Amino acid sequence: MKVAVVILNWNGEALLKRFLPSVTTHSKGADIYVVDNASTDGSIAFLKENYPTVNLVQNSFNGGFAKGYNDGLKDIKADIFCLLNSDVEVTPNWLNPILNTFNEIPDAAIIQPKILDLNRKEYFEYAGAAGGFLDMLGYPFCRGRIFQALEKDEGQYDDIREVFWATGACMFIKKEAFDSLNGFDEDYFAHQEEIDLCWRAKNTGLKVYYVGLSHVYHLGGSTLKNMNPKKTFLNFRNSLYSITKNLPRKRAFPIIMARLVLDGVAALRFIFQFKLDHCLAVLKAHISFYRNFNRFYTKREKANFILKYYSTTSIVWSHFVHQIKNFNILVKD
C-alpha cells in the first residue's frame, strides 16, 4: 500500500523545525507532504531550503483544518493518507503496526495510533489518547482521557480494537474511504470534524480502529489551547452539528434539547469559575447552531443510521457526579 504522510501547516515554521525531522527519519517508504494553508511566516522558505524532498502543496487561503485537508489531498496519489498534526513527534516503526492492521483487517477504513503527551510521555494526550467514543448525548471521550482527566500509560491499552472515532491529530484513512465520504465537512472549520467524519463512516458500514502497538507524542494546543474560548465555541457548536447530521430524527431532537440544557449548565459553571469569555463562547455556539440548523439538517446522511453509537449513557454524570476518571471503570467490555 502506498502511504502519504500529510502535514497541514499554517504559520508553523517553528513546529516544522521541531517535529518534521522525526517524520522524515522514521517514515521510510512513505511519501511526505506538507499542505500549507497560505502561511505568512517563513514556513515555505524553510521547507524549500531544508527539505527539498518533502512534497509541498500550497492552498490559496486558510480554510481551516477541514477545507485545508480537503483541498490538499485532491491531487495526492496514495492508498492510505496519514493526516498528521504539525506538532506530533513520531517514533521508530510507528507505521508498520498500522499498515499491518489495514492488511489483516480488510474492513478497517480509519486507524489511529496511541497518542501520548509530549511533555509528560508516560501519560495519554488529550486529543485522541487510546481511541475515541461517545456517550448517549454525543459527548466525546477517549480511552485514557475523560474530559481533562488523563490516565497514565501502563500498557492497559496496548491492543488493537474497534473504536468509534479516531483523532485528527494522527489519523490514517484509506483514500477510497475519504473520497466516498466527500472528505471533511468544511463548515466545521476546525475541531470535531474528525468525529463527524468517523460517524458518517460508521453510518455507511465502515470500521474505525485503534492500534496501540504504534505510538506518537503530541504537543497539543499549538493552534488553540484546550481552554481557549475559540476552542470552546467550536467544540460546543460542532458537537451539535454532528448530532443533527448523524442521528435519526426521532433520536436527534430529544438529544439536542438535552444538550442545549446541559450546555447552559456548563455556561453557568464557567461563570462561577470566572471564565466569562467561555460562557460567552457557549452562547455564541448556540446562536451559530440555530442560524445554521436548517442547512445542517439537509446534510443528513441517506445511509441507515446506526443506533448503537454510544458506549455509556452520560459521561457528564459519571465523571462529574461519580468522579469516574478511568475508561475501564466506566466502560466494561
Q: Domains in the chain: how many in total?
A: 1
Q: DSSP string covering 10-76, please?
A: SS-HHHHHHHHHHHHHH-TTSEEEEEEE---SSHHHHHHHH-TTSEEEEESS--HHHHHHHHHHTT-
Q: Is residue 323 part of a domain?
A: yes
Instruction: Name the pLDDT band for 222 (thresholds 50, 70, 90).
Output: low
Q: Could you tell me the pTM of the whole model?
A: 0.95
Q: Is residue 305 part of a domain?
A: yes
Cell, residue 322:
461519580
Q: Which of 275, 195, 202 is nearest to 238 (CA)?
A: 195
Give the phi and the psi of residue 259 in degrees, each rounded to 5. -65, -40
User: What does the pLDDT look like over 144-174, one tens digit per residue?
Assistant: 999 999 999 999 999 999 999 999 999 999 9
Instruction: Name the pLDDT band for 304 (thresholds 50, 70, 90).
Output: confident
Q: Is residue 308 part of a domain?
A: yes
Q: Is residue 109 part of a domain?
A: no
Q: Is residue 66 part of a domain?
A: no
Domain of residue 283: give its range: 229-330
